[in-house]
Structure 1
Amino acid sequence: MGVKDGRSWRIGTASDVAWLAGHTTPGGLSVTTAIPPVFDAYATFHPPANVSLDAHEHAVVNELAACTPDQPWWLGFLDTGAHDLVFPGAPKVSIYWGWSYVLVEAGPEQALTWRTGHMRGDGPLPDLFFPADHSWLVSALWDDTWTDIGGSTVVLAGLQRNPLVNARLVRPDEDALPPGLTRD
């Protein structure tokens, strides 16, 4: 358990990410490098021009919360050594190729308030998050400036309709690099 906001939060273990860890395509350029090929649809998103990171991240979480039954969300914070882990002393889980994450069972509110800055900017979003029922997965890999998602066609259609999200559908075998962005 980790303590924050005056209460205890469950810290995740390897069994909580077993459905994900080792089920992605290592070293690839497609969305399945970050998202296992178990979903009906896939997309990438990043803040559109002239939209603040805060407005973008709130829109993403609000769209996901609106189409997800009430349940806990798992929030994953990548241990880069330079970014906020939220629970820095918590045990970590390995998800992608030995990358360590602190995984915490919380919810949409915590996804938008706990963190102070990540690899992609000053926003609070975790590097990885998904609901307890695994109906969708959001993941931003260490070296990407965009975020990947897998889920139902209904979930992705909602994200795609929201102009603050800037979601673009991709096929599982397609290069996930959004138009106008570059790889580092």
Structure 2
Amino acid sequence: MDRDGQSWRIGTADDVAWIAGHTTHGPSVTAAIPPVFEAYATFHPPHGIGVDVHERAVVDGLAARTPEQQWWLGYLDTGAHDIVFPGAPTVTLYWGWSYLLVEAGPEQALTWRTGHLRGGGALPDLFFPADRSWLVSALWDDTWTDIGASADMLAGLLSDPLVNARLVSPDEDACPPGLTRD
């Protein structure tokens, strides 16, 4: 698919086979992130900080700790929200939800979308680097975002107050204090 004067590869079921069918049901972080990572966390914009500032801090933190490579960006197709390439083939994840998956990078993660179902902001609903060293996923009905990664990666994100991350164990309820499930 073409955008910004460039051709972008659309992902297939093979590109997310490591996620599909490997998450759990329930309120834990493993509902969004397969239980294959060293550590897990959740994050959401801190009170008084704009979504764009928060999202830039998240992407900058991830990019600074990830070797240069393409990222897979996944946009949940709700029929009502921007998926960047309407009409492109989708993949199925979680409980039969359709996602457009496109191979791009950190800058596209921050600029392609014109708003998502969790309010303002541009971040994809799901994204991870080609080496699968981490996975960020926000489920349809959650107001926060989950991440699985190395302990070092999460330590870096935890140190940035604009990211507003907190560690969670794989079997702990992922809902951050002060937030509610829809």
Shift of 1:8: 0.5
Q: Quick one: which amino acid aligns to residue 34 of structure 1?
A: A
What are the ranges of 5 or more consecutive residues in structure 1 without an aligned counterpart?
none
Give 1:36's aligned residue.
Answer: 34
Give 2:61's aligned residue.
Answer: 63
Secondary structure at 2:73 match in 1 = strand
Secondary structure at 1:48 match in 2 = coil
Percent identical among aligned pairs is 77
Shift of 1:95: 1.0
- Quote the Cα distance in structure 1 between the aligned partners of 2:118 and 2:43: 12
Give a deviation string over 1:56-80, Cα, whole Å, max 9, x none: 0000000000000011000000001
Give a deviation string over 1:100-150, Cα, whole Å, max 9, x none: 000000000000000000011110100000000000000000000000000
Give 1:22's aligned residue.
Answer: 21
Q: 1:88 aligns with which of 66, 86, 89?
A: 86
Secondary structure at 2:57 match in 1 = helix
- Quote the Cα distance in structure 2 between the aligned partners of 1:31 and 1:65: 22
**TM-score (normalised: structure 1):** 0.98
Q: Quick one: which amino acid aligns to residue 9 of structure 1?
A: W
- Quote the Cα distance in structure 2 between the aligned partners of 1:122 and 1:9: 25
- Quote the Cα distance in structure 2 between the aligned partners of 1:153 and 1:60: 16
Secondary structure at 1:157 match in 2 = helix
Runs in 1 of length 4+ with deviation above 6 angstroms? none
Q: Where does 1:168-183 land on structure 2 (aligned, <5 Å)? A: 168-183=166-181
Instruction: Provide the aligned C-alpha RMSD in A.
Output: 0.5
Secondary structure at 2:10 match in 1 = coil
- Quote the Cα distance in structure 1 between the aligned partners of 2:111 and 2:162: 19
Determine whether 1:9 maps to 2:8: yes
- Quote the Cα distance in structure 2 between the aligned partners of 1:138 and 1:35: 8
What are the ranges of 5 or more consecutive residues in structure 2 without an aligned counterpart?
none
- Quote the Cα distance in structure 2 between the aligned partners of 1:152 and 1:119: 28
- Quote the Cα distance in structure 1 between the aligned partners of 2:93 and 2:72: 13
Q: 1:133 aligns with which of 118, 131, 134?
A: 131
How many residues are treated as equivalent by the alignment? 182
- Quote the Cα distance in structure 2 between the aligned partners of 1:97 and 1:124: 23
Shift of 1:86: 0.1
- Quote the Cα distance in structure 1 between the aligned partners of 2:125 and 2:75: 5
Give a deviation string over 1:11-58, Cα, whole Å, max 9, x none: 0000000000000002x0000000000000000000000100000000
Q: Where does 1:117-128 land on structure 2 (aligned, <5 Å)? A: 117-128=115-126
